[in-house]
Chain A
Amino acid sequence: MSDQKKPKRRDFLFTASYAIGAVGVGAAVWPLVDQMNPDSSVKALASTEVDVSSVEAGKSITVLWRGKPVFIKRRTQEEIAEARAVKLEDLKHPEKDEDRAKNPEWLVMLGVCTHLGCVPLSDKGDYNGWFCPCHGSHYDTSGRIRKGPAPTNMEIPKYEFVNDNTIKIG
């Protein structure tokens, strides 16, 4: 139908106009998309301080941080030993317990199942750790995934001991 045509001045103008138009539309759409991202007031709630002096060995407390539950578990010697005895090759998501709990007595992690976000139940499941009732994921005493659909271990948030009795999360 048409021979090989050389680009003309008009073709250049069309292409340039489309390109500028696309940039303009993109610039107009971005604020409409970005407004859905976490806003400043949500981001401002970045850290929480928790007094853990009343937590006894073998017990845990759950606190809310950025709308998510955080488990703070004071582990017994048996639970620590159990978590440390696990071989890395037995793990779906290999992580050493030493890396997950800097202070072995205290395990601080997001109480959110990495499958679809339910809150696992403590002291349940096949590995004496946590069990997620929604779709049946089992976690061990280090919060590592051992069985079930969850892909990774429960997440360890950024935290630090402000003093012996206070943990700052975030």
Chain B
Amino acid sequence: MSDHNYVPSSKLGKWFNDRLPLLSLSAHLREYPTPKNLNYWWTFGGILTFCLMAQIITGIVLAMHYVAHADLAFDSVEHIMRDVNYGWLIRYFHANGSSMFFLAVYIHIFRSIYYGSYKSPREVIWIIGMIIYFLMMMTAFMGYVLPWGQMSFWAATVITNLFSAVPFIGESITNWLWGGFAVDSPTLTRFYALHYLFPFLILGLVILHIWALHIPGNNNPIGIDVKKPSKDTVPFHPYIVIKDLFALLIFLILFAFFVFYAPNLLGHPDNYIEANPLVTPTHIVPEWYLLPFYAILRSVPDKLLGVIAMFASIFVLVILPWLDTSKIRSAVFRPMYRQFYWILIIDVFLLGYMGAMPAEGTYLLIARVATSYYFIHFLIILPILGRKEKTIPLPLSIAEPVLEDAEKKEFNN
């Protein structure tokens, strides 16, 4: 990378850059060599950065009007919706923003899984990403509690009660989390404090995520290393910047559709009823982005094992770089893996659907099969497949498949 040679053109720039090399950093980001075969599935990193910043900005604004107290929280949210100038817009943007954030992060994760972006030398990028994903789930959950509606209250009750499954000290942990003997005002205030903090932790991890990415550089759809930077890459600016911006615009159309035309489609009507500790809504369901995990939790008939299975389903993702034994990154050259990939996608959608349905009868049976398959995919199929699979030969370079014969010869020499 050429940033070490960068010299600012102005005298002032040079003076500053010698003391704090921000201009060198900026030059590195602009010139960062990016594989030229990246497709649109690679634009979600930029989209996610937008989502995080949008959530932080709208969140800080909402915090100026919201009151974190059990007696006032619900009314203060209605106050934001009815009285605060553009409050409805900012709140709907923030609430739907979390769904859009998760939509983008799921596409980003499944892109990595398809193209093997988690494999050597990018394991640390992947693990940081998984920590970000876990923090996102915690942040979203705590944010969902803040409006203090019925779904907020009972989501908080059910999720914090997961910890009561811990043998011996479970009750002490839940009382510690609640600051009382049930979810109440002390719980709300601490969730508010942490909901404000976590996005900044995520921001810090995003910086590490990008830093770790810039060491080996991007993976790409054919999953082979860059051979000749001059032939295989383009500078990040303007090529990738413009492409990312175009993708972001398309994404924002969907985002705007939800905010302006269907702002409550992804929410639950029960959350417009103020929290009532005496009545549990008849059918409590988490937000759509947590449904597969919820289905795994419910498909195990034992409380402790159910909680363990749910956390294990995230942990298998963390150790994915070591479960997948194949040296070939991209699914493009792994015909068998490609089929198992799509079966996994169907399995996750199925789990999501079962998480939204009541846990009984056929639904429960299907959820159990889907849960078993989820773990079989990661713990049995992937390790074996990497050793047995007959893969398709890789191209010599990123540029090779599209080069003329004459240039190909040059490469072979």
Q: Complex Cα distance A37/B279, Å?
A: 25
- B303 touching A115 by the CB < 8 A rule? yes
Task: List CB contacts (< 8 Å) of A120-135 with chain B.
Answer: 120-121, 132-135
- Judged by a CB distance under 8 angstroms, whether A81 is at the interface is no
Known: A116-B162, A119-B280. A68 touches B359 (CB 8 A): no
B189 to chain A, nearest CB (A): 11
Residue contact A42 to B280, C-beta cutoff 8 Å? no
Q: A116-B158, A118-B157, A118-B280 are in contact. Are A38 and B179 (CB under 8 A)?
A: yes
Number of interface residues of A (CB under 8 A): 29
A43 shortest CB reach to chain B, Å: 9
Instruction: Identify which of A66, A116, A149 contacts B182 (C-beta below 8 A).
Output: A66
Least distance between A50 CB and chain B CB atoms (Å): 14
Closest 3 CB pairs of A and B: A67-B182, A117-B161, A66-B181
18 other A-B residue contacts (CB within 8 Å) besides A38-B181, A67-B277: A37-B179, A39-B179, A66-B182, A67-B184, A69-B278, A115-B161, A116-B161, A116-B303, A117-B157, A117-B161, A119-B278, A119-B279, A134-B154, A136-B360, A149-B303, A149-B306, A151-B302, A151-B303
Selected A-B contacts with CB under 8 Å, 20 pairs = A36-B179, A36-B190, A38-B178, A42-B184, A66-B181, A67-B183, A67-B277, A115-B303, A116-B161, A116-B162, A117-B160, A118-B154, A118-B284, A119-B277, A119-B280, A120-B280, A132-B280, A135-B298, A149-B301, A150-B303
When distances are taken between beta carbons in the complex, the residues of chain A under 8 Å from B183 are 67
- C-alpha gap A38/B69 in the complex (Å): 16
A118 in complex: contacting residue of B158, B160, B164, B177, CB < 8 Å: B158
Given A118-B284, A133-B283, A67–B180 Cβ distance below 8 Å? yes
B182 and A36 within 8 A (CB) = no
Residues of B within 8 A of A135 (CB): 298, 359
Instruction: Give complex CA distance A133, B279 in Å.
Output: 11
Q: Is A88 an interface residue (CB 8 A)?
A: no
Known interface pairs A118-B158, A134-B158, A136-B359; A39-B186 also in contact (CB < 8 Å): yes
Please name all residues of chain B whose beta carbon is closer than 8 Å to the beta carbon of A103 when the two chains form the complex.
none
Residues of A37-80 contacting chain B, CB below 8 A: 37-39, 42, 62, 64, 66-69
Q: Which residues of B contact A42 (CB under 8 A)?
A: 179-181, 184, 186
Give the dominant DSSP class at A's interface: loop
Q: How far is the CA of A156 from the CA of B280 in the complex (A)?
A: 20
Question: Is the beta-carbon distance between A38 and B175 smaller than 8 angstroms?
Answer: yes
Task: Check A136/B279 contact, CB under 8 A, given A36-B179, A39-B179, A118-B154.
Answer: no
Chain A's closest residue to B70 (CB) is A67
Of A36, A68, A133, which is within 8 A of B177 by CB?
A: A36
* A136 CB to nearest chain B CB (Å): 6
B176 in the interface, Cβ–Cβ < 8 Å? yes
A132–B281 Cα distance when bound, in Å, is 10
Query: Does the CB pair A68–B277 fall under 8 Å?
Result: yes
The CA of A112 and the CA of B45, in the complex, are separated in Å by 43
- Given the known A-B contacts A67-B277, A118-B158, are A37 and B175 also in contact in the complex, defined by CB atoms under 8 Å? yes
- Residues of B near A134 (CB, < 8 A) are 154, 158, 280, 284
A64 CA to B183 CA in the complex, in Å?
A: 13
Whether A149 and B177, one on each chain, are in contact in the complex, defined by CB atoms closer than 8 angstroms, is no
**B177, B182, B281, B301: which has the most chain A beta carbons within 10 Å?**
B182
Bound-state CA distance A72–B298 (Å) is: 29
Binary A-proximity of B125-137 (CB < 8 A = 1, otherwise 0) = 0000000000000
Known contacts A38-B180, A68-B181; is-contact A136 B358 (Cβ 8 Å): yes
Q: Is B10 an interface residue (CB 8 A)?
A: no
Interchain nearest-CB distance for A71 vs B (Å): 10
Query: Which of A64, A132, A151 has a CB less than 8 Å from the CB of B278?
Result: A64
A42-B186, A133-B282, A134-B284 in contact; A116/B277 too (CB < 8 A)? no
For B282, the chain A residues whose CB sits under 8 A away are 121, 133
Distance of A36 Cα from B174 Cα, bound (Å): 11
In the bound complex, CA of A119 to CA of B284 (Å): 12
Give the residues in chain A near B283, CB-CB below 8 Å: 133
Q: How far does the alpha carbon of A164 sit from the alpha carbon of B370 in the complex, in Å?
A: 55
Q: Mark B141-166, 1 if CB is under 8 A from A, else 0.
A: 00000000000001001101110100
What residues of A have a CB within 8 angstroms of the CB of B190 in the complex? 36
CB distance from B291 to the nearest CB of A (A): 14
Contacts of A118 in B (CB 8 A): 154, 157-158, 280, 284
